[in-house]
Amino acid sequence: MDRKIQIRLAVIILTVIIAVWYLVPSVKMFSMSPEEQEALKDEDPVTFTKILEHSLKLGLDLQGGMHLVLELDTEGMEFTEEEATDAISRALEIIRNRVDQFGVSEPLLQLVGDERIIVELPGVKDAERAKALVRSTAFLEFKIVEQGPRLGQFITRIDSVMTAASEEETGEEFVPVDSADLEEDDFFAPAEEISDNEERPFSGLLRSYGSNIIVLKEDMVLINRLLDREEIQRIIPRSYKFHWGDEVSSPDGLEYRELFLLRDKAEMTGEVIADAQATIGGGYDPNVANMPIVRLEMTRSGARLFEKVTGAHIEERLAIVLDGVVKTAPVIRNKIPGGSAVIEGIPAIDEARDIAIVLRAGALPAPLKIIEERTVGPSLGRDSIEKGKKAGVIGLVIIIIFMIFYYRFAGLLATVAVTLNIVFVLAVLAGLRATLTVPGIAGLILTIGMAVDANVLIYERIREELETGKTVRASIDTGYQRAFKTILDANVTTIITAVVLLQFGTGPVKGFAVTLTIGIIASMFTAVYVTRTIFHIYTGRKRLARLSI
């Protein structure tokens, strides 16, 4: 074996080794059942993450997931055409940052027209969590909580107004008080005591839980209706507003939400946040120790403002409000320098991560509404994979039978080339972390046909040369030389078409184009370089009088 053939053989072996190395994580991942994958994720998350990162990525149509069409909800907002265009572009970037940090492999995000955003999230199992992450406005505020005697006086006054309203409905005189005519101190002035035998239409729905006021889940609708009543709205000072806390379950199984009365003016907003990280709390505080929390780090100016706010409101509660919901409301024990804060009371670490993600990515310029939603189940993806595998195997078997029957030994070489072609395509997809979709499988099957077509051209040329009386070695060399130009022309034109599809296509079209491009390049290598090297090794051992072709 001369040195040139040794080098060619070394290149082939090295290429095969690299391809197999890139495919090992994919083989490990897809050989495990969903239950085994979940078990590995729980037992050894580091190993699972490494395998997942380096395995072949499957598209939405193969592994299931979500397809969303979103639109900015600008109702009540006055946007010029230029501002609306800028808002949708900013929303796209913010959503992309959130999705990237969420950890979805190969998501698709694109702007459609001037108003809508398409989001495809392959492999997402918790649809509600994904939608909440994408749609969350992420408007963060720090507000002071009104509590103690003044809050009690306020609740008593609501009871009084509601009782008076009820009496008015029965015919007794009632004159509502407009809050515009009240000073803040007048509003919180002690109200008359209500005797035990009088109804308590508002406070009767409230419960005490430690020092907090809570409302059972089944009573929330009624509380909201009471607070929306005109006579109540008239007496609420403009400087105060009710907010709900997150839903919580008590040890006895009751589901409730805390009700807060907050000063409407925010002391600070999310603009001061420099970083947010989800973690597990430590220490001895039962609200923090071993519980999911989000640590907030503020900008330099934010840290100065936070120190000023905490210094001015010692022994008061500071509510951290995200999208109108109070996430936590710790008591300020002393002035806090350094610009660090903690969001606690989060039930699950996934929710803590989502909160950190949306805070880092920033707030949306306007709320988003879902125009279209489609969920592709994993079972449908598995069906697609099975059908694709079946089509590929059937096509490959038919080609192998035909090639071996028609070209004998040379047909066997073509089978080796086609098999290597598939291995190389999948290895390149895994190495580039590209996504395999159903159209991608179609592209892979098409490249099998093109790889065989190249071998057919070469073998027919070799037959023609053998018929002229040339030796086997000379016929092989001439056949490859003359067929190469035709193969190159055909493959180059196909690659040009694939590049155009890749540049201007979207979604499934791109998946087809990527696989087709890689497949064509791989087929050139296997059909021309690999098979010719094997022919040279085969014919170099002994002088052949005839070739099985």
For residue 146, the SS3 value is strand
What CATH number has the domain spanning 65-124?
Answer: 3.30.70.3220
Q: How far is residue 273's CA from residue 508's CA, in Å, rounded to a whole number? A: 39
Whether the Cβ atoms of residue 69 and residue 371 lie closer than 8 Å to each other:
yes
Task: Report the candidate in 412, 14, 418, 413 with the shortest Cα–Cα distance to residue 6.
Answer: 14
Q: How far is residue 122's CA from residue 29's CA, in Å, rounded to a whole number? A: 16
Q: How far is residue 169's CA from residue 163's CA, in Å, rounded to a whole number? A: 10
Query: What is the number of residues in the chain?
Result: 549
Task: Report the candidate in 510, 517, 513 with the shortest Cα–Cα distance to residue 492.
Answer: 517
Residues with Cβ within 8 Å of 313's Cβ and at least 6 positions away in sequence, in order, are 144, 332
Positive or negative, the Cα torsion across 485, 489, 490, 495? positive
Task: Extract the tokens encoding 97.
Answer: 């940052």
* CA distance to 414, 466, 472, 532, 540, per residue, from 548 (Å): 13, 11, 10, 15, 15
Q: What is the pLDDT along the chain (549 residues), one digit of tens a residue?
A: 678 888 889 999 999 999 999 999 988 888 888 788 878 877 887 788 788 878 887 777 777 788 888 888 877 677 777 888 888 888 888 888 778 777 666 677 888 877 788 888 887 777 787 888 787 777 888 999 987 777 777 788 888 888 776 655 544 443 434 434 444 444 443 433 333 334 677 888 888 777 778 888 888 888 888 888 888 888 777 888 889 988 776 666 778 888 998 988 899 888 888 888 888 887 777 667 788 888 889 899 989 999 999 999 998 888 988 888 888 888 888 888 888 888 877 778 888 888 888 788 777 777 888 888 887 766 555 676 677 678 778 877 888 888 888 888 888 888 888 889 989 999 998 888 777 877 888 888 888 888 888 888 888 888 888 888 888 888 888 888 888 888 888 889 889 988 888 887 766 787 788 888 999 999 889 888 888 888 888 877 666 677 777
Q: How far is residue 281's CA from residue 301's CA, in Å, rounded to a whole number? A: 26
pTM for the whole thing?
0.57
Q: How far is residue 237's CA from residue 154's CA, in Å, rounded to a whole number? A: 11
Whether the Cβ atoms of residue 261 and residue 145 lie closer than 8 Å to each other:
yes
Q: Which ranges in the chain are annotated with CATH 3.30.70.3220?
A: 65-124
Q: Which ranges in the chain are annotated with CATH 3.30.1360.200?
A: 142-364
In angstroms and rounded to an integer, the radius of gyration of the C-alpha atoms of the chain is: 35
What CATH number has the domain spanning 142-364?
Answer: 3.30.1360.200
How many other β-carbons are positioned within 10 Å of the β-carbon of residue 462?
25
Q: How far is residue 281's CA from residue 279's CA, in Å, rounded to a whole number? A: 6
Task: Extract the tokens encoding 129.
Answer: 């969590």
Q: How far is residue 147's CA from residue 320's CA, in Å, rounded to a whole number? A: 16
Q: Which ranges in the chain are annotated with CATH 1.20.1640.10?
A: 378-541
What CATH number has the domain spanning 378-541?
Answer: 1.20.1640.10
Whether the Cβ atoms of residue 466 and residue 539 lie closer than 8 Å to each other:
no
